[in-house]
Structure formats: C-alpha cells, structure tokens
C-alpha cells in the first residue's frame, strides 16, 4: 500500500437531509479530482468510541439507487446512524470493490447472462475484491479516532482496520431487506464473501 501522506485538504459544513455534517476531502495531492471523503457529525467526540461507516463508492447504488446491490440503502441507513450517534462516514473511492465503473458495467453485462458477481469478475480476469481499508485507517487517525463502533456486515473490514491499529469495539449490523433483483447478489455476499447478513 501507499506510504504517501493522506491530508485533510479542505473542509466545510454540509447540511443534508439527515443533518449537518463536516465534509472533508482527503488525498495526498491537492489537485486530485477524486479524493476520499469523510463526513462527520460536528459534535463527534473522538475520545469515545465513534460510530463509523467505512463505505466504498458504489456510483450505481449510491447515486442512481440501483436495485442490483444494497449500497445506497446501506449508506442512507449509516447517515441516519451517524446523525443520531454523532459518528462519521468515511467514503472511499474504490468503485465496484476496486475494479472501477467500466469493469463494473462489464461485469453486470456478464451477470445478465447468468454469472454471479464473483464469476463475472473472474470472466474479466479480475479478482472479486480489491478494496483496501488502510486509507480509511489513515483518515480515522487524522480525525483523532482510535476506537470505533463499525457499522458493517463485512468481517473483512473489521480485520483490515484492526490490522491498521484501529480498535473495533463493536460491530453495528446493517440489515437491509432484499429485493427481487438483489436477492441473489446478497446471497453471494453471504455465502461466498463471508458477510454477516443476520
């Protein structure tokens, strides 16, 4: 992983549907058009374990509310929690589990022909997951956060953050009811990728 220094390049107060949050952009390059983002409650207290969602960008789910996954609904649910619990969302620019939007669209095309999400990536010569959470750990550290209550269904995230010196004191599950379209995808996440969907 990169050893470059991730810096808080700019921040502002952002009013949202859920409440007002401090939005910060993190990157090692002030000209970076796609910095990682952190959204935190103005009264977040890093001396206590902080409710944190580490969310990897999913343009189709987060922006277009695609029914092929549950990312947008997970982000919305996390926003509600961080407003209530004075927490933070770390938004990482690793679209499509790190394969990028073009490969993701190609993978969706394969899925139309009956492959699951893992098989579709394999057909493209890609691995199922390229996500790296060490940047999230760097961002948390720069916000003064050492202990978190992680809002996730993904045990890999807990392991990965723990390996980067963030103490996960509790896991907060996000249970999003499946729809007819994403049911198979959620089953794959549960059965082949170890997600805890109960």
Q: How far is the CB of 53 from Zn ion (least distance, A)?
A: 14
**Active-site option among 129, 132, 138, 156:** 129
Q: Which is nearer to Zn ion, 7 or 115 (CB)?
A: 115
Q: How far is the CB of 194 from Zn ion (least distance, A)?
A: 17
Contact partners, residue 49, CB within 8 Å, separation at least 6: 147, 148, 149, 167, 169, 170
Q: Which is nearer to Zn ion, 54 or 58 (CB)?
A: 58
Q: Which is nearer to Zn ion, 7 or 118 (CB)?
A: 118
Number of residues that bind Zn ion (CB under 5 A): 4
Residues 100-129, mask of contacts with Zn ion (x by CB under 5 A): ------------------------------
Q: Does 161 bind Zn ion (CB under 5 A)?
A: no
How would you list the strands of the sheet with 7-15, edge to edge? 7-15, 20-27, 36-40, 88-92, 50-56, 147-151, 167-172
Sign for the CA dihedral angle at 56, 16, 6, 160 comes to: negative
Whether the Cβ atoms of residue 37 and residue 26 lie closer than 8 Å to each other: yes
State the maximum Cα–Cα separation within the chain, in Å, rounded to a whole number.
50
Q: Classify each residue of 128-141 as buried b or exposed e, where b means 16 or more C-beta atoms within 10 Å of its C-beta.
A: bbebbbbbbbbbbe
Q: How far is the CB of 69 from Zn ion (least distance, A)?
A: 3
Contact partners, residue 42, CB within 8 Å, separation at least 6: 13, 20, 21, 22
Active site residue 131: yes
**Active-site option among 40, 53, 97, 131:** 131
Q: Which is nearer to Zn ion, 49 or 61 (CB)?
A: 61
Of 33-92, binders to Zn ion (CB under 5 A) are 58, 61, 69, 71
Residues marked as catalytic: 129, 131
Q: Which residues bind Zn ion (CB under 5 A)?
A: 58, 61, 69, 71
């Amino acid at each position: 992983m990169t050893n470059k220094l991730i810096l808080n390049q700019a921040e502002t107060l952002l009013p949202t549907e859920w409440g007002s949050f401090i939005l910060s952009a993190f990157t090692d390059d002030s000209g970076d058009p796609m910095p990682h983002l952190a959204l935190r409650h103005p009264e977040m207290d890093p001396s206590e374990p902080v409710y944190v969602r580490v969310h990897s960008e999913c343009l189709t789910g987060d922006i277009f509310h695609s029914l092929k996954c549950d990312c947008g609904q997970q982000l919305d649910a996390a926003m509600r929690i961080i407003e209530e619990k004075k927490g933070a969302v770390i938004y990482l620019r690793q679209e499509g589990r790190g394969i990028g939007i073009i490969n993701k669209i190609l993978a969706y095309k394969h899925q139309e022909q009956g492959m699951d999400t893992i098989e579709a990536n394999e057909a493209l010569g890609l691995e199922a997951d390229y996500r790296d959470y060490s940047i999230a750990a760097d961002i948390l550290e720069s916000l003064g956060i050492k202990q978190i209550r992680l809002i996730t269904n993904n045990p890999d995230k807990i392991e990965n953050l723990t390996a980067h010196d963030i103490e996960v004191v509790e896991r907060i599950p996000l249970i999003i009811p499946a729809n007819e379209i994403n049911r198979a995808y959620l089953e794959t996440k549960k059965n082949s990728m170890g997600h805890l969907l109960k």
